[in-house]
């Protein structure tokens, strides 16, 4: 009987520990994923300026913690004639940081580089 109780207690403690570990590893940050199709005639230099502008956002807006701009693969939807060639990923500290980024000075400054050359984009915001 003592072995059964010990085993049961051990199982409960392991289960609680696993739940606590999962809660600690699940970030509260928000990943903002943008896939982009550029306007016809956009030069590689204009695209690079927009990507460099995105890379500079963490310095301009405290709520952005990381930015990725080197897409290894960008999948396009079958049957569409819009070809997305780049992805821009921003990590926001939390949902409030993402919400407050809209219409911020940092977003407005980056949009001066990005919006004139963007044909179309798709955005996904992901968190735990």
Quick one: pLDDT at residue 90? 98
Tokens 């690079």, located at residue: 48
Quick one: pLDDT at residue 119? 97
CA angle 31, 35, 39 (to 5 degrees): 145
What are the pLDDT digits (tens) for 59-94? Answer: 999 999 999 999 999 998 888 888 999 999 999 999
Quick one: pLDDT at residue 24? 74
User: Token pair for residue 47?
Assistant: 């695209």
What are the pLDDT digits (tens) for 5-17? Answer: 666 666 666 666 6
- Does residue 114 contact residue 54 with C-beta atoms inside 8 Å? yes
Domain boundaries along the sequence of the chain:
27-126
Q: Does domain 27-126 have CATH number 3.40.50.880?
A: no
Give burial (CB, 10 Å; 0-12/13-18/19+) of 72: exposed
Quick one: pLDDT at residue 80? 84
User: Token pair for residue 70?
Assistant: 């080197």
- Residue 36, classed as helix, strand or coil, is strand
- Does residue 110 contact residue 64 with C-beta atoms inside 8 Å? no
């Amino acid at each position: 009987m003592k072995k059964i109780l010990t085993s049961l207690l051990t199982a409960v403690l392991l289960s609680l520990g696993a739940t606590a570990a999962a809660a600690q590893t699940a970030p509260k940050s928000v990943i903002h994923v943008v896939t982009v199709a550029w306007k016809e005639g956009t030069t590689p230099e204009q695209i690079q300026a927009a990507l460099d502008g995105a890379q500079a956002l963490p310095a301009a807006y405290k709520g952005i913690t990381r930015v990725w701009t080197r897409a290894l693969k960008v999948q396009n939807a079958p049957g569409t004639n819009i070809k997305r060639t780049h992805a821009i990923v921003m990590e926001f500290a939390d949902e409030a940081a993402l919400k407050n980024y809209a219409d911020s000075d940092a977003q407005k400054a980056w949009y001066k580089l990005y919006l004139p050359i963007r044909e179309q984009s798709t955005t996904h915001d992901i968190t735990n």
